[in-house]
């Protein structure tokens, strides 16, 4: 499995290190061009400055190829600025002019809604599937998910507030799993079975079930 990290701006080196911690055998490659994007089986969109990342995606000819790979179901984990870029809607916030977004996650997001750098904070987050203990959430000039649309599903909460969503194979978080030493969330994403593979598996199971009574009858 080749894991790509979008490496045009932001904290992509931290992502590369965190992925290696979560799975020491993973092949982690930077993605800066459409050719590199074509070759990955999983993608991380790091935190950073969403307006800068959006501009660099455009300049590197990555915007449309990324939109296409997302629509084809490329498993993607987007953090903070990455989540902003995948949102369907942005609600004007304190982050200056908003960037254009790719719309892969049916959420409305408001940039910098917890305040600026000085209001960055750490707090325990409850994550679906990580039952043993809360996850240490690192929030840096974080966006707020102000609305979860019908197609997205909440998967992480800070108190009652949704701070992570998923839609098919695409996960979006307002906090930074790569900046904590807890590798569970990135490991869970790497281990998640892409929705298309899931469908094939279910089909195989159904076929096995159907053939079983016939085989029994033939005995």
Beta bridge partners of 77: 44, 171
Stretch of residues binding ligand GLN (CB under 6 A), selected from 28-36, 78-86, 157-165, 181-189: 78-86
86 binds ligand GLN (CB under 6 A): no
Residue 95 within binding range of ligand GLN, rule CB under 6 A: yes
Q: Which is nearer to ligand GLN, 14 or 23 (CB)?
A: 14
Least separation, in Å, of the C-beta of 170 and ligand GLN? Answer: 17
Applying CB under 6 A, among 42, 88, 111, 144 the residue interacting with ligand GLN is 111
**Out of 49, 64, 80, 147, which one is annotated catalytic?**
80
Smallest gap, in angstroms, from Cβ of residue 174 to ligand GLN? Answer: 9
50 binds ligand GLN (CB under 6 A): yes
Residues in CB range of 134: below 8 A, 6 or more apart: 124, 125, 126, 127
Q: Which of 15, 36, 49, 176 is catalytic?
A: 176
| Contact call for residue 81 and ligand GLN (CB under 6 A) | yes
Q: How far is CA 149 from CA 85, 153, 162, in A?
A: 16, 8, 12
Distance CA 99, CA 97 (A): 7
Q: What is the largest CA-CA distance in the chain?
A: 73
How do 105-110 and 144-148 pair as beta strands?
antiparallel
How many Å apart are CA 44 and CA 68, to the nearest integer? 16
Residue 141: phi, psi to the nearest 5?
A: 40, 50
Residue 112 in contact with ligand GLN, rule: CB under 6 A: yes
Residues in touch with ligand GLN (CB under 6 A):
47-50, 80-81, 84, 95, 111-112, 140-141
Residues with catalytic roles: 80, 176, 178
């Amino acid at each position: 499995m080749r894991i790509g990290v979008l490496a045009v701006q932001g904290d992509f080196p931290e992502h590369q290190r965190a992925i290696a911690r979560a799975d020491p055998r993973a092949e982690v490659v930077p993605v800066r061009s459409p050719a590199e994007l074509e070759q990955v089986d999983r993608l991380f969109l790091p935190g950073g400055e969403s307006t800068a990342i959006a501009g660099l995606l455009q300049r590197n000819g990555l915007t449309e190829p990324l939109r296409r790979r997302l629509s084809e179901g490329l498993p993607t984990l987007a953090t903070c600025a990455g989540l902003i870029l995948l949102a369907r809607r942005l609600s004007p916030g304190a982050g200056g002019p908003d960037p254009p977004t790719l719309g892969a996650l049916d959420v409305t997001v408001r940039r910098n809604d917890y305040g600026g750098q000085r209001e960055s904070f750490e707090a325990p987050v409850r994550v679906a599937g990580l039952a043993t203990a809360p996850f240490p959430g690192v929030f840096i000039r974080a966006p707020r998910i102000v609305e979860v649309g019908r197609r997205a599903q909440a998967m992480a909460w800070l108190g009652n507030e949704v701070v992570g969503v998923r839609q098919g194979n695409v996960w979006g978080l307002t906090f930074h799993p790569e900046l904590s030493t807890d590798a569970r969330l990135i490991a869970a994403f790497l281990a998640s079975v892409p929705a298309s593979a899931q469908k094939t598996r279910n089909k195989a199971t159904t076929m096995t079930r159907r053939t079983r009574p016939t085989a029994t009858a033939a005995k």
